[in-house]
Structure formats: structure tokens, C-alpha cells
Amino acid sequence: MIERHTRRLNLFAACSLLAVCSVAGTAHSIEPGDPEPEVQQQQDPEIAPEVVQDPPPRPRRRPPEGRPGRGGGDEAASPEAEAGEADEEKKDDEAKGEEPEWLAITGAIVHTVTGPEMDGATVLCKDGKIFAIGHRVTVPEGAKVIDAAGHHVYPGLIGMDSSNIIGRGNPADTTDVYGLAGSLARAAGLTTLVSGNAVAKIKNGTLDGMIVASNMFEDLRYDTNQPRRRAEVRKGFEDARDFLRSVEEFRQDDDKEEGEQPPQERDLSREARSALRLLRGQAKAQAFANDAASLVALADLAEQYGFEIVIRGVTEGWTVPERIAQAKLSAIVVPRDRTLADERTNRPNGATIENAAILTRHGIPVAVLPPGPYFGPGTGIGLSGLGGRDMLNINMSAAFAARGGLTEEQAVRTLTINPARMLGVDHRLGSLEVGKDADLIITDRPLLDYMMLVRYSIIDGEIAYDKDAEGIFAHVRPTDPDAEHPKDAWPRRLGAPW
Amino acid sequence: MNRDRYQFRLQRLLGAAAIGAACFTASADSSTAEAESVETKTNVTTQKADAIDVLVIYAGKVTTMDGDDRVINNAVVVVEDGKIVEVRKAKGYKEPKDAEVIDARDSWLVPGIVELHNHTAGALRDLNDSVYLTNPGLRTLEIVAPETEEVRRAQVGGVTAAMLIPGSGTNMSGFGTLVKMGGSSVDEVVMRAPGSIKIAQAGNPEGYWFGVGRSFMNYNTRQTLEEAKAYHEAWVAYENGESEEKPEYSIVFDDFRGLFAREYPATVHTQAYQLVMTTIDMLANKLGIRVVLDHSTIGAFRTAQLVAEAGEENVITMVGPRALYFDRMDRRIFGEVARWHLGGVNRLGINTDAPVVPQEELTNQAALAVWLGWEPYKALRGLTIVGAEAAMAEDQIGSIEAGKDADFGIWTGNPVDPTSWVKMTIVNGKVVYDAERDGRRF
Amino acid sequence: MALAAVRNSILGGALALATSAGAVAPAYGAASDMVVVRAGTVITVSGKEIPRGDIVIIDGKIDLIGTNLEFPKSATVIDARDQVVMPGMINAQTRFGMDGFRRSGNNSGETAAKEIELSLFDFEPLISEGFVTAAFVPTGNNMPGRASVYRLAGPDGPELLNESAYVPISMTNPGGDKGQLEAAIRQAEAEIAKAKKAKEDFDKKQAEEAKKKAEAEKNGEGKEAENGEKKNGNGEEKPAEFQPPEIPGDAQFFVDVLREEATIPAVFELSSASDYIHLLDALGDNAEKFGTTYSFTSTSGDFKEVIGRLGEKNAHVIVRPGISFLPSTTIRYSIPASLVAAGCTVTTVPPFDAPAGYEAMRLRMADLIRTGWSREDALKSVTMNPATLLGLSDESGSLEKGKRADLVFLNGDPLDPTSSVKAVMVGGEMVWEDDQ
């Protein structure tokens, strides 16, 4: 075990040593000659990542003269195509005489997530979309510029649940767009949340463009302890499959009688209609499952009928990662899950901190959620004071996944591109790519650093959270180091010592 | 090991069954545990007959947490019979032949973490015998269970000692016990009993009965303590020959003698400004008890000046499990610890109130405090030596110094950073958790 | 007690003939129904406050306001020189005393008047605090029905002035309200489309018939001339008139709004700033047509977020008086003052619908004046502004010539919380007096 982690340990040791230098200050001496990280070992084939890496980014094109350049889009042509559309839009705008809204973030360490990490690059946003990323981007005149030197830029984080931050049901109908919970979520770096069956941005004071996607999931209840329910689900899939066959037969039937109707969806049972959406790829299934037996059952079902499942929980996923990977399922895990091992069970079971890492190593997309406090609102944000276990510290859930063995890069993905893909919104969210939505956060430290504070959250190219303006965290490591500490409602007798 | 497992299950079943079962479980525990400890002792004696038990740990970095705040890189720590005998640079050191060696040259060696507010080291999760509003005489010693799942969780979080205290359902719910998070018998794990007296100021005890308010509760607590103090003073007078009359022994008050002799502190459930003020005034200033403020949250940082006035040697502030305070006057989130710190209080520690926050996340509590403005090194002190000071066991635990117990965590990095994890936990020189041997758990 | 004195003076028939060189009243005939109120101070609201002012009332209407007026001996004089007289106050939105109907959905065709059985109502708590007129809103969720305006007292008892004054639409619970509002708009659009189609069908049919007729005439020329004559002989048939399809009562208001033919406003109830954003979202492109009248059902400080936008549209806002705080802070915020500063018109209603709410109202308003609201705006917010909102500005809301003589007599300034209402006059007749 130790050997398996050696390489990472060294990295950690190196990072931590750096950390302690700043930690310790002058209170104690640190002697030179710290253990150097050994030469990196050959990677153990057993732990070699099998994750299919995104293709390396294409070289950036030099921007034509006088025009803002555009940076390293990766993957297929779609972002390019969208950028092309953006150009057309620009022409349209010009034709209409409307000035586009430019926002430039300069000098930061840009974590594109799907592409390379770029130190000192500029991210240029136009009308709420990312227009260019790169070192040679020309910032157009009149653009709003955020000098983010020494800061980090990440895509806005995506929370896979929301209990009290945005509204329930249809968030566009129920969200308090000026609510404190929204501000806190943006302060935590979240820009998008899942509520009910919708993906919604945590917009500030507006509902425009709030809903990114809806009806992306069909609930799949396939519990091992409910055999009748499982039979119903399977029958639903069979019926849906038959239905598709008969639709196809009807289509190919050359001598239809006049007035003969094709098979009607409304005649199907609810389970079958749900299954039909899954078989047609119109939705993904969403299921809760924690024990290995349920996970395997879901994997079997998905393989048999060929559809995708996003599973919440997945506590024992680490015991059957091959099955989950083979069926191409996705997992939403709680890294700090503390389900006890049942000693009566004759196989590995219970929760482990390494779950996210093991699943990732097998190529399973993983998203993370916080554990929720002992008494509190679960996946919302609570102000009862029991911190660190809700959405306000969502980045620490990824950090705990890193504690369990994920690399920093993989851990960042659990809050960005992985959930975006699970939700089918990765064409707009989850990474910094040209053409995607300008939803990003500017942080004072790396995302997984426990002292990280968000400086700005930007949604659709607009500043939706500004640490200094919101006040919530403005006094913690203030931007102006000479700023006074906030005064308090002090009892007069005690004076005001700070 | 099999027997241990059986025992756990038995405990769990019985624990769930009824409160009455507690006595049975506890006795069952101690009897089996005793049997086991006999075995262990036998082993020890045989070994002792041969040679002294030497453990040598090479570490990339040792955070000693000693009086000079020394941090030694490339160090070696030598342990004999469960006690630290030497802490030095590794260069030039040669371990004895038969010594057991742990090579952690790529890791940090950190003192075992001390938890001052824990409800999980017993056979039951908690002791809340809400018989009277004050229940002097009750003690958690009776329910100590050396190897429970919660103890294992503490080990994987690098916690090696904890003050197992009763709950806060009444103003005084009994005496706590200072226990080690490693060992298989009650005798082995108990460091000191009583470890503290648990006092709860308002808040939770208000649920005891209708009409019980703060005035009465303070009066009642004071009454019990005054009686106990009188009992103690009578005995002192008798022992010093100042009085000829031998006081009558009282099972209710006898355990209080150590409290007034300042051999152990009162761990006080107290939070919010007014309550902490009362605690400091009544217990520390008027009754002369050494006080550990055991929550110190919900804006209690406003009493920072009072703590300074009372003296940090008399009042030690352990903050938690609440980490943040939402200031509804000004729409701000304060770190509870950071505000104490800014208020000028230096002796600050952290607690989890486990299981309110899981025991293994004690270090994460420190991370949260630092996130909101505390200092990382102070946080590491708060997790270790300050906890030991609060427990009044700083001569035994809390730092890596010659003469102290060999309680360590071997960490992959700074324990305050949640991405660091425990590779090995050592209690009294024995490895109680080894991620490689036992499987990684946290 | 003061009122008793007034009564005495009336009964004694003591005439006070002012003869000084001030304004001179026009020569009155022997109008036996002339009443003259001689006040300590007259708060006209529309104009200046007049110290030692006299109000001349003929046939229940104000004829003249001035000082040192001359009037005939036959006039009844009410001596209220130790009192302050102001216009009767108007409550623009109340559910006081209404049955707790729990209906929900679009009931905008209903009216409060249908629920109100006057014989069962006791308006004294309102009248004794100076309210002369009130708009009652039906109970229920979403769109519970139209507000009905009553004069709370008069020579012949309470009187219904306007059964349908405005349409309250709740947006205080957007999760439920939004869908209902959208549904109501969709229904109205469907009705409009139906009417349009009916008209088209009708026109088409008419055209076809005309064509047929023309063809028939063409074909049958000569041959069927007789028949044709015969037809004509039956008398000139009236050209068929288009009968638009009937619109359901609950859809009528929304149809009118969408056609921009509505005669009464919609009043949107909002409990927080976010509700306004949801309202705009629900109204979509039709937002302009629905006007800009709102009712803030809470004193939440987060209204600050949208008050600027409301001001740009010169919205009319009904508020509950009370000091607000910016969310999660102790920073005080005055919603009415901010609304006025932004360019809105403010109407105040009691903080809650209970006698205590009516009693607390002037105190709460005084609080707000202390924190930045102007006295003039505060007075208008219970008189002129609600009168405008309810379409009563021709007869109520201020003391001006031609308006109904609805007066409130107080023993001090109305915004001095220690003052109290001593008597209330409606249409020139005393309807209530403090009998202590």
C-alpha cells in the first residue's frame, strides 16, 4: 500500500514542506536539506490511470492582426464552430450597432481543466461566452479588465445537488435570486447546481439564462430489496424495446391499411415510457445505490439495454469498479462517507476514502458531494456553525477525494467537467474552452487548498460574486492588507481590542 | 482478533438494546479485556526479560511542539518502553541492533492529537443520565470501552488521546475520563480518572424540565460545587492537622477533591457570550476551578478579554464543533477560533464533540479555523500541546520530547491540510493503525 | 369630549360670523344644508396646510376652504378650533373581516363585494382610526378576485362605491403563483385567438355568401329575377352582425389587458425583491401591458434590490409601514423613502389587518418620517395616492372644492403618535365620534 502511494507521497511531502515554510513563520527554525522527492518511479501498471485522457490541445492559432485571438480549444470542432457562430453574432451585433460586452481576466494561472494549465494567460469573454484564452490575446478597448495576477482561474464549480440554495422543483420558479444562500454558494465557487430535474446557474438578481438543462434524468428505482419493483422496471424496458421494434416495423411496412395508426406511446406504462426515453438517449437514468449488489444489478441492466446511469452514493463502488466501468456508468460519491464495514459480510465492504480514486482509476467519471453535517441541511448551506461539511466548502470534498488518491487535476475534474458531462451540459459548462459559457471563478489559492477563498465568481460573463463587495468573507485575508479587522458589537466594559 | 470483533458486535447490540444493558456490557468488556491484558502483560514481561523494547522512527520532519517550537527535518525519534527517550537529527545516529525501525523519511512525525471533547470512547455513545439537574458522582470511567469502531476512527485521524466526557443533558452529568486511543484493556487505556468534571451551562440542560432557567441552573451548580468545596476543605484541614474532626467520607463528593486541588479541570459546555461570562466568573474567578471552555462558540469570542483577565492558565479555550459564526448584524462569516485569536487569546484548541463532527475530522476542524483566519502553526499547536495542557496532561502527552509518551501520527504532510493523511498511528510506542497493514481507512 | 362641545355649539346654533378683511365668501343663498367647519388647522394634502382654516360644505361637498370666511347665519357651524382636520383616509388594500376563503387559481372574475354582507360587518375599528374608504380584497391564493371599494359610513350606512377597482395578483409564493399567472395569460391568449378565428370565419363566411349571392344573381339574371325580387321583397335582410364568442369571466381581465383595453389596474403582491424578478419572468413580453402597481406584503430590506427599477417606471407601490433592515444586517432602510426618492408613488396601508394594525399605523408612519420619509409624502400615501389608485380622485383624497366632505378630526397632528381621532365626517355628516 505504502509503495503504491510513494510517488504521490513524495509530491505531497514536497508540497507540504513548502506549505510548512509559510506555516511556521519565524516561530521555529526549518533546517535545509529536506528530503528531496526521489526520482519518480516507473508507474506501477496496476495503478496506471486508465482514464481516457482528453486529446492534447491543438496549438493556438496566432490571432490575426487587430483582432482578439482565440486560444487552445481542444476536442472536436464544436467549440470552433461555435466560435464561428460567435463571429457571425458579432457581425450581427455590429450591424445592429450594439456594443458587445467584453470581460478580460489577465495574469492568472488558468486551469482550463480539459486543456493545459496556462500561467499568466488572459481569458477574454464576450457577451457571456469565452471568446479567447491564451497568452497573446489582445484585450479590446472598452473591455472590463480584472487583473488577476497571482490568482487562479477555474471553471465555475458544479454542485450535483441543492437542498436550500436554489429553489426546489423548477428552480426558475422558486429561487430567491437575491437570497443569502445564493451569495454563499457563489462565495464557495459554485456557479451551477442541480435541483429537482434541472441544471440551474446560481444567477444573481436575474432569471435570464438560469436554466441550462432540464429533464435530463429519469429516476430509476432498482433496489435489490424490492424484487417486484425490479421486475416492473425490467418489464418496462422490455415493453419499450418491443415498442421501438413495432414502430420500426410499422415504418417499414409497405402495405399499411389506410388509417392504420402507428403504435402510440401513450399506451405504454409509466415505467415503459421512462425506459423509452432512456433507450432513445433522450435522458440518462439516475439511481441511488450504495451496496455492491445493487451496483452490479444496475450495471447489468445498463449493459443489457444500453443506456447510461448516473449513480448517487456508490459507497461500495470500490469493490466492483470493473463492473461499473464496463457498463460505462457514472458515480456521484461522498468522499467522506463513513459507512461502517459489516463484519458479517464475507467480502470487502463499507466506505473508504479511496473510493473516488479507485473509481477514477478504472475510468469511471466521478463527481463529489459533501457529507452534510450531523444535524443540518445536507447538500445546502447551513449557518448553524457546523462548517466544512456542506456546500460552503465544496472544494474540500474534492480535496478529500485527493486525500484518497486522486491527483489534483483529477480532483478538480470531479467538480467541473465530470458533473458537466453527467448532466449533458459539457458543451457549455465544466471547462474553460472557447465558445463555452463564461462561468468561472477567480481564487486566491489553488482550488484544493484549504485556505482557498474565492475572489470573484463570474456567471455568463458578469461578476456575480465579489469578495470585497459581498462582505461575507471580505475580512478574511482582506484584499487590502492594511484593512481594519471588523469591529464587533462589544460590551462597552470590555473595550474594543481590535 | 476474532474475539474482538465478536465483542464489538455484542457491544453494539447491547448498546442499542437498553440503557440498563450498559452495566452488563461494561462489565463484560472489562472482564474480557482484563483477560487479554493479562496476556499482553505476560508478553511484555517475557520481552522485558530479554531486552528493552526499542522503537526507532526516522522521519522527514518532526514537529515537536515543544517549548521552543522546534521543527526538525531528517530526524530520528527513539522510543523505549513506550516513552520517548531521544529526539535528534538522523545524521550520525545508528539504531541498536534489536530495535524495531519505522522508516518514515518521506513523512511528518506529529505528536498524537488530543481531543478534549469526545463522547465516543465508551460502550454507549454518551452518558446522559438525566436523573437530577446535577449528578455528582457519576463517571464515564464505568463505560470506557477500549476498542470500539469510534476509537478506530480516532486512530485513523491521528488522535491518540481523548477526554471521554458525559453529555450536556444536565448541568453536571459526571466525571470525564482521559483515555488513550489505543490499548485493549480499560487499565491500559485510562490515563487518568477522573479526567475532568463535566459541567454544562444552559443551552442543552434547559431541556431537562419545564421551568428550569439559567438563574436556577447556576444556583444549583454553584450549590453542588460549594458543598464539594467545603467537603474538600474539611478534608484538607483534617489532613493538615488544622482540624481534629475527621470528615465523613462521601461517595458523591470525594471525586471533587482533585478538582479543587487543581489536579484536573472542569470541562464546561458553554457557548454564547453571556454564558461564557458566567462560566469564567463563577467557576474560574469565584470557585478557583481550572476551567476548559468546551465549546466557546456562537459568538463567545466576545469574552476574549475576560479570558485574558482570568489568566490563560486558569481558563483554556477549546473551540468547536462549530467552526463558523454567522454575524447577523453585519452579514459576515467569522471563524470562531480566528476571532478568539484576534481577541488576544493564545491558548486555543479545537474539538469535534464527536460524534457531532466525526472524530477523524478533528484536523479538518483546524483547517476550517485556519481557512477563516487562524494561523496554521497555531492550529497544529491547538491540536496537540494545547489539548494536552487543557487536559492537564502536558507532562505526559502533546509534544515530542524526551520523557513523554510515545504517541505519534505519521502523516503524509501537514495534518492541518485535509489532503494529508495518516500512514501510521502510534500509541505508547505501539502501532495501533498502519494504513499498509490494516488497509487505508481515512 | 371635544366632540360633545362641537355638538353643543351646533345645537346652540351659535353663529360665528367672520367679518375681518380676509377672503370673502361668495354670497350664499339661504342654504339650510350649509355646514361650516372652523378648524384649528386644515390639512388639505393637495395644497398648503391652513391654520385657523374654515371649510364650507354644501350638499355634502366642499365648496370653499379659507380663512376668515363670511357665511350666512343659517349655516351650521362646527367649532373645531382646537382640532386638526384632514381628509378621510383611504385604505387601498384590506382583508379586514373577510371570510377565509381558500380558493386558488384564477378567480379574477369574482369580486370582494360578492363576499361581503354589509349587515355582518363592523367597520368601527377602521373608522375610529380615520379611515373613511377601503378597498376590500377577496381572500384566497393566486388571483382571488377583484377589489371592491366601500365607503365605510355615511348617512345611509356603508356604501359600495366601486365593485371592481383593481385585480390583485399574488406573486408572494412564486413556486405556485407563477404557474397560475402564466396559465391565466395563456388562457387569455387562447380566448383572443378564438375570438380572432371566429371573426375570420365569420368574415370568410360573409364573403362567401356575398360571392354566392353575387354569382347567383349573375347566373340567375333574368331567369330568376322573380325569385330575386321575391327575396328582396322579403325585406332587406340586416347584414348579419358578428357575435364575438363569450369570454369567461375569469379570463376577461387578462383579455382586456392583452388587448390594452383594461380600465382597471392589476396590483401585484410581492413579498421580496426576488418575487419581482419572478413576476417579470412570468409576464414576459406582456409586462408593459400589465402596468406597474405593486403591493409589498413584507418590509423585507431586500426590496432595495429592485426599488431603482420600479422608480424608473414610476410605479405605484402599496407598502406596509415599518422600518426595514438590509438582509442579515442591522443597517436600517426605509422602503417608502427609497421608493419616493426613486420616483415611485407610495400608498400606505396598515401593517396588518387587525384593529391593532390600524392603531399602530400612524405610529409606524411617524417612525418612517423620522428615518427620512417626508411628511407630505406620508400624508399623501393614505389620502391622495390611494384615491388615485382606486379611481376616486375626483371625490376623495384631499380637501378641495368639489370633493366630498370626508373629514377626520384629530386632537393633534395626525403623525404625532399621541394624537387620536376625535370625530369622523362623511359627506358633511358626522358619522363617528369619540364618546369618551
Q: Is the pLDDT of residue A54 over 80?
A: no
Q: Is the pLDDT of residue C127 over 50?
A: yes
C288 Cβ neighbours under 8 A, 6+ residues apart:
none
B422 Cβ neighbours under 8 A, 6+ residues apart:
B155, B156, B157, B158, B409, B410, B411, B433, B435, B442
* Residue A79 preceded by cis peptide, ω within 30: no
**Nearest chain A Cα to C281, which residue?**
A207
Together in a domain, B42 and B64: no
Tell me which of A20 and A385 has the higher pLDDT: A385
C283 touches C257 (CB < 8 A): no
Together in a domain, B348 and B407: no
Q: Give percent of chain C above pLDDT 90.
A: 69
Mean pLDDT of A63-68: 36
Predicted confidence at residue A97, as pLDDT, reads 60
The whole-chain average pLDDT of chain C stands at 87
**Range from A71-85, B21-35, B114-128 that averages highest in pLDDT:** B114-128
Residue C237 lies in a domain: no
Together in a domain, B101 and B214: no
A279 touches A237 (CB < 8 A): yes
Q: What is the pLDDT of residues B241-279, one digit of tens each?
A: 999 999 999 999 999 999 999 999 999 999 988 899 999
Q: Which of residues 394-413 of A touch B (CB under 8 A)?
A: 396, 399-400, 402-404
Lowest mean pLDDT among A23-27, B146-150, B263-267, C401-405: A23-27
Burial class (CB in 10 A: 0-12, 13-18, 19+), C131: buried
Q: Is the pLDDT of residue A113 over 60?
A: yes
Confidence of residue A486 (pLDDT cuts 50, 70, 90): low
Residue C233 lies in a domain: no
Residue C236 lies in a domain: no
**Nearest chain A Cα to C173, which residue?**
A174
Cβ distance B328 to C327 less than 8 Å, yes or no, reads no
Cβ distance A10 to B106 less than 8 Å, yes or no, reads yes
Residues of C with Cβ-Cβ distance to A174 under 8 angstroms: 174-175
Interface of A with C (CB under 8 A): 167-170, 172-180, 205-207
**Range from A23-37, B337-351, C211-225 that averages highest in pLDDT:** B337-351
Together in a domain, C315 and C404: no
> Which of A178, A179, A207 shows the shortest C-beta gap to C281?
A207
Confidence of residue A86 (pLDDT cuts 50, 70, 90): very low
Tell me which of A223 and A40 has the higher pLDDT: A223
Predicted confidence at residue A418, as pLDDT, reads 97
Q: Is the pLDDT of residue A407 over 80?
A: yes
Distance of CA B313 to the CA centre of its chain: 17
Q: Minimal Cα–Cα distance from C308 to chain B, Å?
A: 22
- List chains adjacent to chain A, taking adjacency as at least 3 C-beta pairs closer than 8 Å: B, C
Together in a domain, C179 and C81: no
- List chains adjacent to chain C, taking adjacency as at least 3 C-beta pairs closer than 8 Å: A, B
Cβ distance B331 to C328 less than 8 Å, yes or no, reads yes
Predicted confidence at residue B425, as pLDDT, reads 97
Helix (H, G, I), strand (E, B) or coil at C424: strand
Predicted confidence at residue B282, as pLDDT, reads 94
Predicted confidence at residue B162, as pLDDT, reads 94
Q: Which of residues 175-234 of C touch A (CB under 8 A)?
A: 175, 178-179
Q: What is the pLDDT of residues B303-325, one digit of tens each?
A: 999 999 999 899 999 998 999 99
Together in a domain, C143 and C74: no
Q: What is the pLDDT of residues C353-383, one digit of tens each?
A: 899 999 899 999 998 998 889 999 999 999 9
Residue C239 lies in a domain: no
Work out how many domains chain B is built from and give that number: 3
Q: What is the pLDDT of residues A320-364, one digit of tens each?
A: 999 999 999 999 999 998 888 888 888 889 999 999 999 999 999
Domain boundary among B11, B26, B47: B47
Q: At C156, which helix (H) or strand (E)?
A: none
A107 touches A120 (CB < 8 A): yes
Predicted confidence at residue C237, as pLDDT, reads 60
Together in a domain, B193 and B297: yes
C405 touches C428 (CB < 8 A): yes
φ, ψ for residue B408, nearest 5 deg:
-135, 160
State the complex-level ipTM. 0.86
Helix (H, G, I), strand (E, B) or coil at A29: coil
Q: What is the pLDDT of residues A277-329, one digit of tens each?
A: 999 999 999 999 999 999 999 999 999 999 999 999 999 999 999 999 999 99
Together in a domain, B56 and B168: no
Q: Minimal Cα–Cα distance from A466 to chain C, Å?
A: 16
Cβ distance B439 to A10 less than 8 Å, yes or no, reads no
Together in a domain, C345 and C435: no
Together in a domain, C288 and C312: yes
φ, ψ for residue B436, nearest 5 deg:
-75, -45
Confidence of residue B205 (pLDDT cuts 50, 70, 90): confident
Cβ distance C277 to A179 less than 8 Å, yes or no, reads no
B377 touches A25 (CB < 8 A): yes
Residue C238 lies in a domain: no
Cβ distance A343 to B8 less than 8 Å, yes or no, reads yes
Together in a domain, B88 and B202: no
Together in a domain, C169 and C254: yes
Q: Give percent of chain B above pLDDT 90.
A: 65
Domains of chain A, CATH where assigned: 2-47 (no CATH), 217-254+263-430 (3.20.20.140)
Together in a domain, B282 and B186: yes
Together in a domain, B277 and B390: yes
CATH label of the domain that carries residue B74? 2.30.40.10
Residue C222 lies in a domain: yes
Confidence of residue A226 (pLDDT cuts 50, 70, 90): confident
A376 touches A390 (CB < 8 A): yes
Predicted confidence at residue A225, as pLDDT, reads 85
Together in a domain, B41 and B69: no
Together in a domain, C411 and C390: no
Residues of A with Cβ-Cβ distance to C272 under 8 angstroms: 176, 178
Residue C141 lies in a domain: yes
Residue C426 lies in a domain: yes
Cβ distance C329 to B331 less than 8 Å, yes or no, reads yes
Q: What is the pLDDT of residues A250-266, one digit of tens each?
A: 988 888 777 788 888 88
Mutation target for A interface from B126, B371, B400, B420: give the one with most A CBs within 10 A. B371
Q: Is the pLDDT of residue B165 over 70?
A: yes
Together in a domain, C35 and C68: yes
Cβ distance B329 to C329 less than 8 Å, yes or no, reads yes
Q: Minimal Cα–Cα distance from A325 to chain C, Å?
A: 40
Mean pLDDT of A412-419: 97
B212 touches B192 (CB < 8 A): no
B200 touches B173 (CB < 8 A): yes
Together in a domain, B19 and B60: no
Q: What is the pLDDT of residues C243-302, one digit of tens each?
A: 888 999 999 999 999 999 999 999 999 999 999 999 999 999 999 999 999 999 999 999
Mean pLDDT of C412-423: 92
Together in a domain, C309 and C419: no
Q: Which of residues 409-468 of A touch B (CB under 8 A)?
A: 448, 450-453
Together in a domain, C391 and C418: no
Together in a domain, B361 and B293: yes
Q: Is the pLDDT of residue A61 over 70?
A: no
Short-list B295, B370, B115, B381, CA closest to A393: B370
Predicted confidence at residue A46, as pLDDT, reads 38
Together in a domain, C422 and C304: no
Q: Is the pLDDT of residue A68 over 90?
A: no
Question: Does C328 reach chain A within 8 Å, measured CB to CB?
Answer: yes
Domain that holds residue C308: 89-228+244-396
Residues of A with Cβ-Cβ distance to B325 under 8 angstroms: 385
Distance, in Å, from the CA atom of A152 to the CA atom of A189, rounded to the nearest integer, reads 12
Burial class (CB in 10 A: 0-12, 13-18, 19+), B32: middle
**Nearest chain A Cα to C301, which residue?**
A178
Distance of CA C87 to the CA centre of its chain: 15
> Which of A27, A32, A497 shows the shortest C-beta gap to B343?
A497
Predicted confidence at residue A259, as pLDDT, reads 79
Predicted confidence at residue B125, as pLDDT, reads 56
Q: Is the pLDDT of residue B438 over 70?
A: yes
Together in a domain, B224 and B273: yes
Together in a domain, C350 and C434: no
Cβ distance C330 to B326 less than 8 Å, yes or no, reads no
Confidence of residue B290 (pLDDT cuts 50, 70, 90): very high
CATH label of the domain that carries residue C416? 2.30.40.10
Question: Does B326 reach chain C within 8 Å, measured CB to CB?
Answer: yes
> Maximum Cα–Cα distance for chain C, whole Å?
97
Residues of C with Cβ-Cβ distance to B328 under 8 angstroms: 328-329
Cβ distance A173 to C178 less than 8 Å, yes or no, reads yes
3-class SS shares of chain A: helix, strand, coil, % to 5? 30, 20, 50
Domain that holds residue B229: 113-397
Work out how many domains chain C is built from and give that number: 2
CATH label of the domain that carries residue C343? 3.20.20.140
